[in-house]
Structure 1
Amino acid sequence: MQSSLVSAPGRVPHGRRAPLAVAARVALTLVAVLATAFGWSVPASAAGTGPCDIYRSGGTPCVAAHSTVRALYGSYNSRLYQVRRASDNATRDIGVRSAGGVADAAAQDSFCASTSCVITVVYDQSGRGNDLWYQGSSVVPGSSQSSPAKATSESLTAGGGKAYSLYINPGNSYWRDGHASGVPTGSAPEGMYMVTSGTHVNSGCCFDYGNSETTRKADAAGAMDAINFGTECWFGGCSGSGPWVQADLEWGLYPGGSQSWNPNQRAFTSKFVTATLKNNGTSRFAVKGSNAQAGALTTLWDGSLPSGYSPMKKQGAIVLGSGGDCCKPGGGANLSAGTFYEGAVVSGYPSDQTENAVQANVVAAGYR
């Protein structure tokens, strides 16, 4: 917004999966769907392994998967993010405690003892290399006006273990040009989700996660396709004070299919919030939200794209924590605040069943 088919590493290639593995995946996905529908409490291991396993089973594989909290594939056993300490500028990658598990927060605590640390990069778990580096780093050429988020602003519990969030304040944002590494472009269909917080928000532009401009300019209507979460009422006429799940499609934060306020919108003020967005690229998009600790997704909009946004003109960068025209000399300022726990961008238009299963998996992860 203006300021103003990949397999998980180590998985059997598609078309060569053993019948029992396929049956097991289908069964786990069914458990997750039923858990959402009936509000069951189930262990994380029974909720479909990880969100990206569920998306893959639904035919919409993750092309980017990020979290400072946990693995988003049941088989993932590598690094989640990197911290840099102030005392000597040394860095350390923080991984998971076990395959498919939660972050090794103890490793961060030990490395950052007696000094302060920042999070420099959140690694992509999809195998595509779509790592999110902070804008202002040498890895994001031409970026400025941004700095890495403090690594210890918020600790939490997920999967029974301690973890840290990516706690973004004004001036913090992350970015990756993913147009050549699987992120959908043009009018290609796309979906995404993130787990964020309803208690750390503001009205600054723009706390986004999703598809953005490779140019880092507000190029055109439809040049972005990102989840926005905050209290900014872009077109006016909003009901209540938010925070809301909206779609940043560039040149506007859309609560529904037009610039008029969508009466189906509602605020999500819980500590942990699930937000989803999907867009078929030519005619339809859907926005959903939920408490990430319990319950099913609420559909806020499922209908036509706004006038002037068909077809979409996505460029395939990934942004987290800012609008699309941040953060370069002469570009927009980064004024947003928000918290990021996990999220993914997927290729294709996810089914409602798939999104329901992802929500059940998030609930089963036990964010506290």
Structure 2
Amino acid sequence: MRSSRRSETYFSYNSPTKSDWTCYSYKQASSAPAYMLYAFLPWAPLWRPGPATTTAGVAHPVSQRIAQLAPYTAPTTAYSTRSYASPTGKAKKIGTLYAGGAANAAAQDSFCAGTTCLITIIYDQSGNGNHLTQAPPGAFNGPASNGYDNLAIADSAPVLMNSQKVYGVHIKPGMGYRNNAAKGTATGDEAQGMYAIFDGTTYNDQCCFDYGNAETSGTDTGAGHMEAINFGNCTTWGSGSGSGPWIMADLENGLFGGPNFGWNGNNPTISHRFLTAVVKGESNQFAVRGGDATSGSLSTFYSGLRPSGYNPMHKEGAIILGTGGDNSHGSKGTFYEGVMTSGYPFDSTEDAVQADIVAAHYST
């Protein structure tokens, strides 16, 4: 817990109904870099950083969503984000109702009327180009053409934010998104923080519904080569109290809700309909936190030393959503928003983010 390595990261989402956003500003507690790497959000702020020493590095909206949509007719067919192929040859970017507002769900519904749309690109809003696209084959091939994973169906996760309809990303087995050439993500033993909002009632016991930092090769390159949020009730590599699901850190070759391989009884079963999950790590230190995304505060399930064999870390900096680091794609889950940062955020920073998430009033 070395304060010299830490940096205070301020997230100010306010309400997604407001247009006067100052979404991220950063106050450094030391000379260590601190900047937001990317964010999946259900609305699309302009990412206008406030007074700070650093600026937003990567920002992806999802349920908001400025995403590329492509209609398809055959449920077994997935279309590449590189060509935006579709039976009709059409693709569309879905923006917001206004700057800083919620997604224009009506535009998506209109474009996809009479067919089924796939989410082909989830765009990075920071300008760094860290878009998430159809996950390529890794140690495990996906079910789509050339071993790619399937793409998520665009309208399969409708929810409300402040009474405004938006869409999340519902991942079924065989689906996944990835960027193996991301810029600015943590590598080696560098510190990072992550949060995500999931549907806490949608999960399974397969590997691996992850969001975060993974191998650039799509293969298992060893313990400590990834650090991602995992959600589910898979018990093969670790478990918590009760029958799950649990928020855990996927550090490769182990899912950890605490310092032990296998069972960590301090890590509770948690299944809120809208769930905030937090994982963060620095040199020989990591933490797992979580809470209800619609009310209350975050709880800390573990904060302490890394498991044996995971110090130092060897993070590689790819970004994954919905799969394991080796492209294991047997899991399911629903993702609404998330952020990765460099630096190791203070609990108080994450608590402030949680308050803003609660103020967004996720509902069904």
TM-score normalised by the shorter chain: which range applies? 0.7 to 0.9
2:216 and 2:153 mapped to 1: Cα distance?
A: 26
Q: Residue type matched to 1:249 in 2?
A: L
Hey, what does 2:287 align to over in structure 1? 286
The reply to whether residue 177 of structure 1 matches residue 190 of structure 2 is no
Residue aligned with 2:273, SS: coil
Asked if the contact 2:16/2:102 (under 8 Å) is kept, the reply is: no
- In structure 1, the residue matched to 2:215 is 213
**TM-score normalised to the size of structure 2?**
0.80
Native 8 Å contact 1:206 1:323 kept in 2: yes
RMSD: 2.7
**CA offsets, 1:135-170, max 9 Å, x none?**
259xx9x97241101111121111331111100000
The answer on 1:100 being equivalent to 2:108 is no
Q: Measure how far apart 1:239 and its partner are.
A: 2.8
Call closer, same or farther: CA 1:194–1:268 in 2, change over 3 Å.
same
Q: Give yes or no for the alignment of 1:128 onto 2:101.
A: no
Indicate the residue corresponding to 1:165 in structure 2. 168
Mapping 1:106-121, distance limit 5 Å: 106-121=106-121
Match of 2:158 among 149, 155, 159: 155
The structure where helix makes up a greater share of residues is: 1
Q: State the partner residue of 2:273.
A: 271
Give the whole-Å Cα distance in 2 for the aligned partners of 1:244 and 1:58: 32
State the distance in 1 between where 2:207 and 2:337 align: 21
Q: How has the CA–CA distance of structure 1 residues 232 and 119 changed in structure 2, closer, same or farther, with 3 Å as cutoff?
A: same
Q: Which amino acid aligns with 1:62?
A: M
Distance 1:70 1:299 in 2: 27
Gap change, CA 1:252 and 1:237, over 3 Å in 2: closer
Q: 1:251 to 1:338 in 2, by over 3 A?
A: same
* Residue number in structure 1 paired with 2:54: none
* Residue 21 (structure 1) aligns with: none
1:53 to 12, 24, 30: 24
Matched residue SS, 1:361: helix
Q: Is the CA contact 2:44–2:100 (under 8 Å) kept in the aligned structure 1?
A: yes
Does the CA-based 8 Å contact 1:102-1:159 persist in structure 2?
A: no
Q: Which residue of 1 aligns with 2:44?
A: 71
Distance in 2, Cα, partners of 1:323 & 1:235: 12
Q: Structure 1 residues 88 and 237, CA, compared in 2 at 3 Å: closer, same or farther?
A: closer
CA separation of 1:77 and 1:283: change in aligned 2, threshold 3 A: closer
Residue of structure 2 aligned with 1:258, choices 237, 257, 260 = 260
Structure-1 residue corresponding to 2:36: 62
C-alpha deviation, 1:183, in angstroms: 0.6
Establish whether residue 306 from structure 1 lines up as the match of residue 307 from structure 2: yes
Measured against aligned partners, the alpha-carbon deviations of 1:191-242 in whole angstroms (never above 9, x if no partner) come to 1111111111111100000000001111011000000001112346643111
What SS does the aligned partner of 1:149 have?
coil
**Corresponding residue number in structure 2 for 1:6:** none
Q: Per-residue deviation at 1:45?
A: 6.9
Partner secondary structure for residue 301 of structure 1: strand
* Residues 1:360 and 1:237: Cα distance change in structure 2 (over 3 Å): closer
Task: Structure 2: state its 5+ residue gaps.
Answer: 1-8, 49-58, 73-86
Q: Which amino acid aligns with 2:118?
A: V
Give unmatched runs, 5+ long, in structure 1. Answer: 1-24, 33-41, 327-332
User: How far apart, CA to CA, are the structure 2 residues paired with 1:187 and 1:91?
Assistant: 40
- Using CA pairs under 8 Å that are at least 6 residues apart, name the structure with larger relative contact order, 1 or 2: 1
How many Å apart are 1:264 and its aligned residue?
1.7
Name the count of aligned residue pairs: 317
Aligned runs of 1:175-254 on 2, under 5 Å? Answer: 175-179=178-182, 181-235=183-237, 238-254=240-256
Report the CA distance between 1:127 and its aligned residue: 2.4
Aligned mates of 2:89, 2:232 — CA distance in 1 = 33
CA distance in 1, matches of 2:334, 2:294: 16
Q: CA deviation at 1:255?
A: 1.5
Report the Cα offset of residue 43 of structure 1. Answer: 4.8
CA 160–77 in structure 1, closer or farther in 2 if over 3 Å, else same: farther
What is the Cα deviation at residue 336 of structure 1? Answer: 0.6
Contact 2:180 2:217 in 1 (8 A): no
* Percent of matched pairs sharing the same residue: 42
Mark the CA change 1:268 to 1:143 in structure 2 (over 3 Å): closer, same or farther. farther
Alignment CA distance shift 1:77-1:143 (3 Å): closer
